[in-house]
Amino acid sequence: MYVVLSCAASIDGYLDDSSDTRLLLSNAADFDRVDEVRAGCDAIMVGGNTYRRDQPRLRIRSADRIAARRASGLPEHPLRVVVSRSVAAVDDWLAYPSIDLALKDLEARGVRRLMVEGGADVLAQFLNRGLADELHLAVAPRFVGDPRGTRLNGIAEATLAEVTQLDQIVVLRYLLRDHAFMRQAIELSKLCPPSDTAFAVGAVIVREGKILSTGYSRETDPTVHAEQAALNKIGDAKGATVYSSLEPCSIRKSGARPCADRLIEAGIARVVYAWREPPLFVHGDGAAVLKDVGIEVVELTELAAEARATNVMMGP
Ligand SMILES: NC(=O)C1=CN([C@@H]2O[C@H](COP(=O)(O)OP(=O)(O)OC[C@H]3O[C@@H](n4cnc5c(N)ncnc54)[C@H](OP(=O)(O)O)[C@@H]3O)[C@@H](O)[C@H]2O)C=CC1
Ligand SMILES: Nc1c(N[C@@H]2O[C@H](COP(=O)(O)O)[C@@H](O)[C@H]2O)[nH]c(=O)[nH]c1=O
């Protein structure tokens, strides 16, 4: 499930002040942007406090977006979800006593894209546990400065992917989960025994948010590739995602089995790489080979320079 976190904050990071009235930080254009994000999701989640304090509707406002959803066979609105140990949700709301139970049941209901609209407590848990793929943060041009207000917090590293200005609001789109694992793969690439004739690559294999295995080039013998080293350590990688700092190889000078073939054989569902293979040693086309058999392939071009930097033979 792809998870998008969304909120609006003041310059000093508040989502709300301590007054009884709901603080509207977004402007009309930003609320319309949020509406569009909602329309692209299967479910929207909030925490118990937001549910109680805001009594949110979480409905799509635009008639055109509702019509477009209907035309593509979707329900008019995404599912509405609250996580709470105490709330018994009414109407068509789904209530879950834990985030894990919510994610499990929503997955079973066919939810592919979940939007989490807050509040701070729930957002922090998604951030801290590495459960989110993106954060959309709208920054409003004001300070709140209320020590009893609600502040955005959490521990996570993010990569800035997009900046949009909507009049006085700046919308920052950050990428989270893929980037955290890719950074780990890049760190692993720094462990590779040096070579002038082969790339330094790191790989991490992940299933359901948990690391199954890791590897790096030349880890166990002078010819082993990172993905291969990681795959060799586990029996079952079916359905997993492989993060590789370099595009998996589709051809090897030595005649050894290319990593793309190994990934296909292992039943890998998704491959994320940062640096497209340059035509230095061979003319590889691993991404296309993987896509051809239906594997989802994601290229994180914004981390390519970091992945390349480990490879001194490429020059500055
Ligand atoms: N500016 C913005 O974009 C947004 C602002 N807000 C504001 O944020 C404030 C609310 O934020 P905050 O106080 O942090 O609270 P949350 O909305 O994050 O809700 C926290 C509550 O969610 C439930 N909960 C949290 N984690 C779990 C878990 N793991 N399992 C089960 N239940 C869980 C609990 O509910 P319970 O107590 O019922 O058990 C907990 O008290 C409001 O003032 C709201 O207006 C909210 C969303 C967006
Ligand atoms: N205040 C605030 C947001 N608040 C979020 O919007 C929810 C209300 O949705 P609805 O009832 O459908 O309008 C509310 O519960 C909270 O999750 N969102 C934003 O993008 N910007 C804002 O300034």
| Tokens standing for residue 207 | 């299933």
* Active centre residues (catalytic): 227
Best CA proximity match to 186, nearest among 312, 269, 276, 308: 308
Residue 54 confidence (pLDDT):
94
ipTM exceeding cut-off 0.85 for this assembly: yes
Instruction: Identify the H or E element spanning 122.
Output: helix 120-128
CA 119 to ligand 2: nearest atom: 17
Best CA proximity match to 193, nearest among 227, 231, 225: 225
Which residue has the least CA distance to atom 32 on ligand 1? Answer: 84
Cis peptide upstream of residue 255 (ω within 30 degrees of 0): no
CB of 99 closer than 6 angstroms to any ligand 1 atom: yes
**CA 119 – ligand 2 centroid, Å:** 9
Nearest listed ligand to the Cα of residue 16: 1
Which residue has the least CA distance to atom 16 on ligand 2? Answer: 117
**CA 123 – ligand 2 centroid, Å:** 14
Best CA proximity match to 61, nearest among 81, 78, 82, 46: 78
CB of 120 closer than 6 angstroms to any ligand 1 atom: yes
Residue 316 confidence (pLDDT):
67
Instruction: Identify the H or E element spanning 242.
Output: strand 241-246
Residue 283 confidence (pLDDT):
74
What values do phi and psi take at 96, rounded to 5? -130, 140
Residue appearing with tokens 């790339």: 199
d(CA 153, CA 123): 8
Q: Which residues line ligand 2 (CB under 6 A)?
A: 8, 23-26, 34, 46, 50, 54, 56-59, 117-118, 138
d(CA 25, CA 12): 12
Residue 292 confidence (pLDDT):
96
pTM of the model: 0.76
| Contacts for 109 with CB less than 8 Å, ≥ 6 apart | 43, 79
Distances (CA, A) of 177 to 5, 157, 251: 12, 9, 29
Q: What is the pLDDT along the chain (316 residues), one digit of tens a residue?
A: 889 999 999 999 999 999 999 999 999 999 999 999 999 999 999 999 999 999 999 999 999 999 999 999 999 999 999 999 998 878 899 999 999 999 999 999 999 999 999 999 999 999 988 889 899 999 999 999 999 999 999 988 787 878 999 999 999 999 888 888 999 999 999 999 999 889 999 999 998 778 999 999 999 999 999 999 999 999 999 999 999 999 999 988 788 899 999 999 999 999 999 999 887 777 778 999 999 999 989 998 888 999 999 997 777 6
Nearest listed ligand to the Cα of residue 121: 1
Which residue has the least CA distance to atom 13 on ligand 1? Answer: 49
- Strand 169-175 to strand 159-166: parallel, antiparallel, or no bridges (unpaired)? antiparallel
**CA 206 – ligand 2 centroid, Å:** 33
CB of 49 closer than 6 angstroms to any ligand 1 atom: yes
d(CA 288, CA 67): 36
Residue appearing with tokens 């807050």: 118
Nearest listed ligand to the Cα of residue 35: 2
| Tokens standing for residue 224 | 């082993």
Which residue has the least CA distance to atom 15 on ligand 2? Answer: 56
**CA 312 – ligand 2 centroid, Å:** 48
CB of 98 closer than 6 angstroms to any ligand 1 atom: yes
